[in-house]
Chains A and B, each alone.
Chain A
Amino acid sequence: MEGDARCFCVALVTSSLVNPPVGGLDALAVLQEKDWGVVQLPASDYPDDVAALLLEEVAEQTEEFARNGYRLAILGARAGLAEALESRGIPPLPQLDPSTDDELREFLADGRE
């Protein structure tokens, strides 16, 4: 392994935080500032059958990060995510539904700084 610029930290992020409303919390800016990558969770406006297909892919990709020791966390809440992760044997992950930039910064930095 030659290494590169990756941060080895991956957040599973609700679509509403990836695509916030005008004036909403800019989670991507904070995640970039704190050097985290993003796995986007299915948007809440997708039908359940579509979301289930996407959650299956999220869980499979998260499993690969988990088994390689990447730091993982969940931002926001997504119905069906816990079951999808559990089906892959992924233990419960630290989770935050952030309301402010500072709260998110503190959560992402916890244990790193």
Chain B
Amino acid sequence: MPGVAFVAHCLLNQNAKVDGGARTAGIYSPLVEDLRARGWRIEQMPCPELAFTGLHRFWAVKEQLDTPAFRRHCRRIARAVASAMEVHAERGDDLVLVGLEGSPSMGVCVTSSDPEIGGRPTWPDGGTELAAGKGIYIEELEAELRERGFSLPPAMGVSHQLPDHDPAAERATLAELLGG
């Protein structure tokens, strides 16, 4: 088996998205199909925002979610996921992580950040909230793994939330992550 891909919850379940964010009915198929075609085992991570802020949540930037309580919530999820990753690491499995770029929780290289956002929400299209960096959950997972003597596995993020989303480039990035 090539390895195990720990993927963002919404890759398999767009129902978990913030209202207005679901791009497909259920499964976001392009990357799932690629992972399966290459023989990678899929392990879905829980959605950090779904249970904490719920299905009626507003779109949010990282600063709005970055509270001690949400960090504790993310760390609890991270303990569960890291425990599973540890099982595979001890078996010698290759691991990759597929997060969600632009997400305040699941961003790997791009999160959403704007310290001025707050109060009554106004979200003009083409806002400038995208910023380089990891989401809160990814940070907590990295910290949990570090405490266990592991590092974050090679990772990428689905880019379909970004204005310059390029499906071909996204799949190429996955292919590179998976080793060609």
Residues of chain A having any CB pair with chain B under 8 Å: 1-10, 15, 18-19, 28, 31-32, 35-40, 42-43, 45-47, 49-50, 53-54, 56-58, 60-61, 63-65, 68, 70
Contact = CB atoms under 8 A, between A and B. Distances in A.
A2 B20 contact: yes
B79 interface: yes
A5 B24 contact: yes
A54 B25 contact: no
A2 B13 contact: no
Contacts, number: 118
Interface residues of B, number: 37
Contacts of B13: 10, 37-39
Contacts of B21: 4
Interface string B62-105: 00000000000000010111011001000000000000000000
Nearest to B11: A38
Interface in B1-57: 9, 12-17, 19-27, 29, 32, 36, 41-44, 46-47, 50-51, 54-56
Per DSSP, chain B at the interface is mixed
Nearest to A54: B80
A92 to B, nearest CB: 21
Contact of B17 (A6, A39, A43): A6
24 contacts: A4-B17, A4-B20, A7-B26, A8-B15, A9-B26, A10-B13, A10-B15, A31-B27, A35-B25, A35-B26, A36-B27, A37-B27, A38-B26, A38-B44, A40-B42, A40-B43, A40-B44, A45-B87, A46-B84, A49-B83, A50-B87, A58-B46, A60-B51, A61-B47
Nearest to B36: A28
Contact of A50 (B27, B32, B84): B84
Given A32-B29, A38-B26, A39-B13, A18 B42 contact: yes
A61 B27 CA distance: 17
A68 B55 contact: yes
Contacts of A37: 12-16, 25-27
A66 to B, nearest CB: 11
Contacts of B44: 18, 38-40
A1 B15 contact: no
A19 B24 CA distance: 21
